[in-house]
Structure 1
Amino acid sequence: MTERIPGPGGGVWPGEWVARELGVELTGGVRELVGLALRRNPKRAHLLVSDVLGKHVPQRPQRVYGAGLELGRRVRELLAPGHSADGAAGADGGVTDDEAALRGTVVLGYAETATGLGHAVADGLGPVPYLHSTRRRVPGATQAGTFEESHSHATGHLLLPEDPALLAGDGPLVLVDDEFSTGNTVRNTLRALHARYPRRRYVVVALVDMRSAEDRASLEKFAAELGSTVDVVALATGGVRLPADALERGQALVAQHDPAASASPEQATAATPAAVPATARRIDLGWPLGVPDGGRHGFLPAHRARLETALPGMAARLADGLAAAGVPAGPEHPPGPPHAPRVLVLGCEELMYVPIRLACALQDHLGDRAEVRFSTTTRSPVLPVDDPGYAIRTRLAFPAHDDPSDGPGERYTYNVAPGADPARRFDAVVVLTDTPGDTPDLHAAGGLLARLAPHTGAVLLAVVPSHTPLPQPLRGPFFSSYDPEDVGWLLQDLSDVTLEAPTEEREEAIQRGGAHYAESLPVEYQPSEEYQRLFHSALDTSAARIARAVGTVTETVLAERGHGAVLASLARAGTPVGVLMRRWARYAHDLDLPHYTLSIVRGRGIDTNALRHLAARHEPSGVVFVDGWTGKGAITRELAAALEPFPGFDPEIAVLADPGGCVRTYGTREDFLIPSACLNSTVSGLVSRTVLRADLVGPHDFHGAKFYRELAGADLSRHFLDAVAARFADVRDAVAEDVRALLAADPADRAPTWAGWRAVERISDAYGIGDVNLVKPGVGETTRVLLRRVPWRILARRGAGADLDHVRLLAEQRGVPVEETDDLPYTCVGLIHPRYTRGATGADGKAVTTAGEATR
């Protein structure tokens, strides 16, 4: 009879089989946390199998997550002795002592085994960013470093932070792995990182520290060479004693007990039970927008807070899915006997943290109505032996299903099949993968879902949207003539692409339906000296009026949305307004409001990648969309429709002027001249209108625009901003009065009336146009018609004064009639010629004047 070695809990230690057969001995306290197995690896035969990692052994998720949290708390005590572990904000919302003590700290976890552990350490440590290495090559992601893990089955590690500054701080860098065996991997990592991002302090964290005395001395020497401090934190320390022939004996044992290791491919296939494609019940988790699926590209404290809020709802969806699949684990199922179902939440390789957290939340949701366990798949080949004294009892092999960088191959999940012990059977397995892993191979015969199906009562599938890195916002002076802090452009630079087309050609293509207005750009209008004089005169006259409107709309936003507002202006007309609102907030409140500009295209919607960028960095509810003015309200409606799939964002637009009665947050509802409407790029940072064309803008790209550097000599962007900002002090009292009146008014008085839309419909019918998109109401929209489109005629309110001087001049230059009328809610309205073709005649029988003819 074989003597059984007792485990820490009184049962059989799941390492005694290897200890006996291979002659391995573990020392110290590590046996409390690990078992032993054998693997097919030419460098190391034995494998420490953690009981608290959740990679190879299905474990209670609270124990897995709790081990990481405990390590994080120990690191916190090392770095910030005496500080609390909750990371709560101060009473005034300012920086806490915790945050100050940990400023600049970053946690880095190792793929694939420690991605979830490292994330849990970051949670236990406090409000710090997290990044893990990856073996997945991600198109478009910038590589910030690479290193080798010499003893691993797959040695190469990539560092792909979305924000390149993530690794560039000067605070401690905390490196997390499941075991610290020799220190070679840590030295390789630090050598690579320290050359690019030197730091004074590093902390190495592991569940078990297995180093020898020589290994410890080697690390101390290495730290001295770097000129840095390297601390080590572990839950348990110990060592491993191996016989001299351990590698050869291990390989022989693998060959003896694993026929697949020595079989030909044909024999191995024949030995695998036949499988048919499995149909898994899909569960929509309701994943929160802007939260990454893990730390592959970085995970910030704000992401964690948003995930915490969403976890209970996602757990409820999982529970509903289990109930729908016939697993009696819902609230209607009584706790305890006759049967509390066993549910496994199974992550896939590097996707560990989200499954851990969801498994914890599911257990909290179900209470004692079910027993929830957690584990993940792996690429590491391990010998299974169905013996209580061996850590890996069963193995399911299946083809890789996430297009791995190292090519197709086999993947594994361990201890999921019950083997000889039916009590270990799971009633349901919930597979969690990310979108790159949701491939035909996952669902195919022999794929993961099919391999699981015979060993459980139900297979469910939840797919987490994989976070795709987006480029950083463009900023001046490299893109636009604005200061870099004025605005971040969520656009891609298409300056080197020829996009301009003659106005008449664009109009004909647009109206015939062969092109969209956002697929090309009009030739930039070059104003005459007379027109430039009109611009400067208009600016002098209206600067105080604009300043008052800027102050009023900004103060309204701050009063109703708080000082944490994030400005998101709609390019291009909204951009100067957003910059001015930011300047007012700084002038009046010493606030530096974040300001971005993004693209929205009529008929095509908003740039969803720009929304993702905003949601990944800011709370969506704090984002305030900004535009210059409203016309008939087409963009207002476009934005509301575009945001429906993105809960959390408020579709309300804040505008300088709302003559169309389309919004409730505005500086004024008067239709007056805003000089930034008089020009194109030369008053908007030298940036073009936005472009959306399939051959230029891919699924992971921002919409495009051009930076007209060659027009720098004619640029008036800063002049416009400075002229308006110079009047802030003059209008401050008037702004305070305006805002008091607005906030005290009956909400119905500020509600949108859509009077402008009704007026446009009336005008379209009266002039036989038949398309409201060809009616452009208001001074700003009329100016755009004259600068960019083929105008038919201008309707002007009788008696309109200097606000229309520039409109009259442009109309005269282009041979466009100006009709004065009494029945007009706007100062003016521009009509684009309907059914335009070159050489066409208008409704009055006169030849249409094209842009080309007007400028010759």
Structure 2
Amino acid sequence: MPDTVPRDHGSDETKTKTENAEENGNVTWSGSWVAERLGVQLVGGDELRELLGLALRRNPKRAHLLVSNVLGKHVPQRPSVVHGAGVALGERVRDLLGDAVERTVILGYAETATGLGHSVADGVADAPYLHSTRRPVPGVASAGGFEESHSHATSHLLLPERPDLLAGDGPLVLVDDEFSTGNTVLNTIRALHARYPRRWYVIVALVDMRSDADQGRLAEFAQEIGARVDLVAMASGTVILPEGVLARGQELVAEHDSAPGEAAGVPAPTAGGDIVRVPLGWPAGLPDGGRHGFTPAHRARLEAAVPGMAAELARHLGDARRVLVLGFEELMYAPLRFALELERSVPGIEVRYSTTTRSPVLAVDDPGYAIRSRLVFPAHDTAAFPAGEAAGGGDRYAYNVAGGGFDAVVAVVDSPADSPELRAPGGLLARLAAHVPRVLLAVVPSYLPALPHVPAFPHVPDRQESPMLPDPLRGPAFSSYAAEDVGWLLQDLSDVELEAPTEEREEAIQSGGAHYAESLPVEYQPSPEYQELFRSALGASAARIARAVGTVTETVLAEHPQRYADPASPEATHALPVLVSLARAGTPVGVLMRRWAQHRHGLDLPHYAISIVRGRGIDTNAIRWLAAHHNPADIVFVDGWTGKGAITRELADALAEFGDFHPEIAVLADPGGCVRTYGTREDFLIPSACLNSTVSGLISRTVLRADLVGPHDFHGAKHYRELAGADVSGFFLDTVAARFDDVADAVDTEAKELLATDRAPTWEGWAAVERISEEYGIHDVNLVKPGVGETTRVLLRRVPWKILAKRGAGADLDHVRLLAEQRGVPVEEVDGLPYTCVGLIHPRYTRGATGADGTAVATP
């Protein structure tokens, strides 16, 4: 097994060859292979050799690479060692600065030292942190930039959210993994000093590797700019390079790099491990790192949230005991904190931490070489670069992972890197799964400053999201649905008291004192009789629902033939229809459509749920998130049914400013003739309309209230975890899905017939609602709720006046009649109704009237 970790870091079952050799007193330095073949000398004693190994760069500018054993980049290391090294340096800086620490700013270097700089800031404790980046961010002004001459990727940008962050006169602390020639750091100071002059600079590095010739440059430089410049390092030494080392290094690379992909020492891939996506619950508005600045307040928020996120990771790790947390290029600190918390809080677990990198390094399976194995995969965040592949493309690497004895890897990426390339057959997840039994994917939302010059995020190739938008919420942390069933583009308001008595809500809504989306009705608790009615109705209608699900799904897929005809093609993953259900009535339908596509075609359709509020429009932040992560042309909005078509019109109006989205809805039932993509136009009982949250993943209707939903927040909703004992969401889905095969032939026939007919909306329902509104003296179409689903909602959530039922309607109205009886609401049978039933809310509602069960009813 290749040695992939520093010494003393293996359990009895997973010790590497080097670890066992060390126990026997036969220690092999991980730089000896390069030293012997190149004549490179590392001068600095045993302390330096413990910190550093040597490898060969695949880079024409420099032959050797100093490989740190405590940085957490190339060599998997205990997270407490990685974090502790940075914190210890930060504490030394704090002691050096004294009272000046209160005015200090800390700057780290991408990509290697971003996590180290964060850790140094932890040790300093009271200073904001910023790291350079190689990722341009459209709309964010640069506060400076510099070149790293020996690097394979040279351009660094400084993109602070606060333009004045670097403008103070307090000390500036610059953090890098090593200080060798000093060119990069001194060039940075020179450029910043010309723009933001100050009196004190502190350079921090794990190792000070300056040559004798470079030792005097620091004092000369300080004199040149007229400022104090100090250096703080864990250890010091130097590297002595012989003549011709660059040419000889290139020869060695050519000689040993016979395989341009994986290194020769990589073990043969296994059949492939499990890949599981873990919802982190990253706090809204918390930066993912220091690309735009990270303050002590941000640090406090992260520290408060890390235990919960790590606990979620631990839950998905199961019985894994040797775990690697693998960060992503510049995203080093958040993964490090996850790893540190796992190490601290999970008994019996052995945790290591490292990150992927852009740096091309030769891998040699030898105990005397620092890079024992190499996994190669294509860049998966190229869309985050405005210039696309040319700017951000190429291969990326994960070193010393394969063969490391890990039984689980937690891959942590930011949201722009959560891409089709990540999940492609040759992508990072597949590479990891070929060598590790279990792979967890955790996505941290990429923070974008809320600055006036940041664009409004139409669909652009960079796929960056709106300011401060988190990952979608997923079950079981939010909703009882499985994580893969749906991602909720909502914020969790479960801890907020939002319920109000039905009569108070109705009076406030009708008087104009409040909007219906500003509060929630008390969740209806069905009686045993009503629950039994639901189950019997579901048993009777499951095949009918399955047929409608199949028909609407096949219609959607048929309208995207070029996008899914070849699921095996590389393009298929990111060109599939993306289902976006309107929470919450549309969400069970979206889940069922996703299951149909998977069951019948093997397609894994993405599915999200978003909020739309009558009179207030759609959640524009959710739309921007979708535009940043998917092609709007692939978005298909999904709802349960249509009533009079108000939401259909609301959606069309709301999407007018987002020109690339198709403003139509696919529904299970369209009795109002309002849409062109539907499963049926019959008005029949959809049992998911019979209940509230307990058939919709335990999620409330959505909430939009100014004191709870800010300009950069998703709309809100509650997760009623306390109702888990009454939850039938999974039962509903499984019962319908069990009938898919039974209705497959009928669906094929019906879908073909529908596609060949004129499906243009007739708006027949809207005309009927206007007629009923006038005939019954209501004069407000919003108080006329047509269809079985809408009538049920009236009885469960509002204060009903009466129910109109189509004469002769049968079992589809059993639950309506039961609810009406319980609430003392009259049911009036009428002729000529285009719907099975219509619920009426009287506009002249006054509080105080009650029905047979004591709940409020409307009085004329």
TM-score by length of 2: 0.51
Which residue, out of 804, 809, 825, partners 1:795? 804
What residue number does 1:521 align with? 520
Displacement after TM superposition at 1:761 (Å): 0.7
CA distance in 1, matches of 2:733, 2:705: 31
- SS of the residue corresponding to residue 769 of structure 1 reads coil
Distance 1:227 1:538 in 2: 66
1:594 to 606, 612, 615: 606
Instruction: Say whether the 8 Å CA contact 2:384–2:464 is kept in structure 1.
Output: no
What residue in structure 1 maps to residue 653 of structure 2? Answer: 641
* Residue of structure 1 in register with 2:557 after alignment: 558
Tell me if 1:670 matches 2:713: no
- Aligned-pair distance for 1:510? 0.3
Kindly indicate whether the alpha-carbon contact (under 8 Å) linking 2:464 and 2:628 is maintained by their aligned counterparts in 1.
Answer: no
CA distance in 2, matches of 1:302, 1:169: 27
1:692 to 692, 701, 704: 704
Q: Is 1:301 matched with 2:313?
A: no
Matched residue, 2:534: 535
How far off is 1:735 after superposition?
Answer: 0.6
Q: Does 1:622 align with 2:634?
A: yes
In the alignment, structure 2 segments of 5+ residues that lack a partner are: 1-179, 203-217, 225-252, 262-271, 277-287, 304-311, 315-322, 342-350, 391-415, 417-446, 455-462, 565-575
Q: Distance in 2 between matches of 1:193 and 1:539?
A: 44
Distance 1:567 1:189 in 2: 31
**Structure 1, residues 533-568: CA drift from partner, whole Å, max 9, x if none?**
221111111000000000111111111134311111
- Against the structure 1 CA distance between its residues 189 and 513, is the aligned structure 2 distance closer, same or farther, given a 3 Å change threshold? closer
> Is the partner of 2:829 in helix, strand or coil?
strand
Distance 1:483 1:810, change over 3 A: same
Tell me what 1:494 maps to. 493
Deviations 1:694-738 (A, max 9, x none): 111122222111111222221111111111011001000001101
Go from structure 1 to structure 2 and tell me whether the alpha carbon gap of 1:164 and 1:712 turns closer, same or farther (over 3 Å shift): closer
Looking at structure 2, the residues matched to 193 and 781 of structure 1 have their Cα atoms a distance apart, in angstroms, of 46
- The one-letter amino acid paired with 1:649 is F
Q: 1:800-850: per-residue Cα shift (whole Å, max 9, x none)?
A: 11111111111111111111111211111000111212147xxxxxx9889
Which runs of 5 or more residues in structure 1 are unaligned? 1-26, 50-74, 84-99, 105-130, 147-162, 177-185, 207-215, 232-297, 310-352, 354-404, 406-432, 440-463, 841-846
Q: Which of the numbers 136, 154, 176 marks the counterpart of 2:293?
A: 136
Instruction: Determine the structure 2 residue equivalent to 1:348.
Output: none
- Counterparts in 2 of 1:337-486, with a 5 A limit? 436=451, 467-486=466-485
- Write the letter of the residue equivalent to 2:291: T
Q: In structure 1, the residue corresponding to 2:679 is in which secondary structure?
A: strand
Structure 1 residues 637 and 169, CA gap change in structure 2 (3 angstroms): farther
Secondary structure, aligned partner of 1:628: strand
SS at match of 2:621: helix
Per-residue CA deviation, residues 513-536 of structure 1 (Å, 9 max, x unaligned), is 001111111111112222222211
1:690 deviation in Å? 0.9
Q: Which residue of 2 aligns with 1:632?
A: 644
Partner of 1:655: 667
State the distance in 2 between where 1:139 and 1:664 align: 53
1:724 maps onto 2:733 in alignment? no
Indicate the SS of the match to 1:643: helix
Matches of 1:687 and 1:191, distance apart in 2: 33
Instruction: Tell whether 2:530 aligns with 1:512.
Output: no
2: CA distance between counterparts of 1:193 and 1:495? 25
Match of 1:782 in 2: 791
Name 2:693's counterpart in structure 1: 681
Call closer, same or farther: CA 1:132–1:42 in 2, change over 3 Å.
closer
1:833 and 2:815 correspond: no
**Cα distance in 2 between the residues matched to 1:473 and 1:480:** 12
Deviation at 1:852, TM superposition (A): 2.1
Task: Give the partner amino acid of 1:633.
Answer: G
Compared with structure 1, are the counterparts of its residues 739 and 716 closer, same or farther at alpha carbon in structure 2 (3 Å cutoff)?
A: same
Q: Deviations over 1:762-796 (max 9, x none)?
A: 11111110110000000000000011111111111
Change (3 A) 1:78 1:586: farther
Which runs of structure 2 are paired with 1:153-192 in the superposition (5 Å)?
Answer: none
Instruction: Give 3-state SS (helix, strand or coil) of 1:852's partner.
Output: coil
SS at match of 2:603: coil
Amino acid at match of 1:549: A
Q: Does residue 811 of the first structure (1) align with residue 811 of the second (2)?
A: no
Per-residue CA distance 1:156-177 (angstroms, 9 max, x = gap): xxxxxxx999xx988896579x
CA distance in 1, matches of 2:837, 2:259: 68
1:796 and 1:827 in contact (8 A); partners too? yes
Alpha-carbon contact 1:200-1:229 (below 8 Å) kept: no
Question: CA separation in 2, counterparts of 1:545 and 1:671?
Answer: 12
Query: Which residue number in structure 2 is paired with residue 852 of structure 1?
Result: 855
Aligned partners of 2:739 and 2:498: how far apart in 1?
A: 38
User: Residue 550 of structure 1 contacts residue 577 of structure 1 at CA under 8 Å; is this kept in 2?
Assistant: yes
Distance across 2 between alignment mates of 1:174 and 1:549: 46
Secondary structure at 2:777 match in 1: coil
Distance change in 2, residues 1:601/1:174 (3 Å)? closer
What do residues 228-273 of structure 1 show as CA deviations (whole Å, max 9, x unaligned)? 5799xxxxxxxxxxxxxxxxxxxxxxxxxxxxxxxxxxxxxxxxxx
CA distance in 2, matches of 1:528, 1:490: 32
Measured in 2, the distance between the counterparts of 1:133 and 1:592 equals 35
Answering whether residue 714 of structure 2 is matched by residue 702 of structure 1, we say yes
What CA distance in whole angstroms lies between the structure 2 residues aligned with 1:737 and 1:661?
21
Distance 1:571 1:136 in 2: 35
Please show how residues 39-78 of structure 1 align to structure 2 within 5 Å: 39=193, 42=201, 44=218, 46=221
Q: Determine the C-alpha separation between the residues in 1 that align with 2:834 and 2:387.
A: 45
Shift of 1:616: 2.2
For 1:214-293, what aligned pairs fall within 5 Å after superposition?
A: none
Q: For residues 502 and 549 of structure 1, what CA distance do their matches in structure 2 show? A: 36
- Give the C-alpha shift of residue 193 in structure 1: 10
- Aligned to 1:819, the other structure's residue is in SS state strand
Given that 1:573 and 1:627 are in contact with CA atoms closer than 8 Å, whether structure 2 keeps it comes out as yes
Q: 1:139 to 1:754 in 2, by over 3 A?
A: farther
TM-score, normalising length: structure 1: 0.51
Q: Report the residue type matching 1:509 in the other structure.
A: A
Q: In the alignment, which of 750, 758, 780 is matched to residue 759 of structure 2? A: 750
- The one-letter code of the counterpart of 1:667 is G
Shift of 1:300: 3.0
Letter of the 1:719 partner, please give it. Answer: F
Q: Specify the code of the residue in structure 1 equivalent to 2:548.
A: A
What fraction of aligned residue pairs are identical, expressed as a percent? 64
Task: Provide the rounded CA distance (Å) in 2 between the counterparts of 1:774 and 1:609.
Answer: 29
Distance in 2 of aligned mates of 1:592 and 1:514: 45
Q: CA RMSD in A?
A: 5.0
Assess if the C-alpha contact under 8 Å between 2:585 and 2:689 holds in 1: yes
CA distance in 1, matches of 2:517, 2:685: 25
* Per-residue deviation, 1:576: 0.7
CA distance in 2, matches of 1:775, 1:705: 25
Q: CA deviation at 1:189?
A: 12
Corresponding residue for 2:571? Answer: none
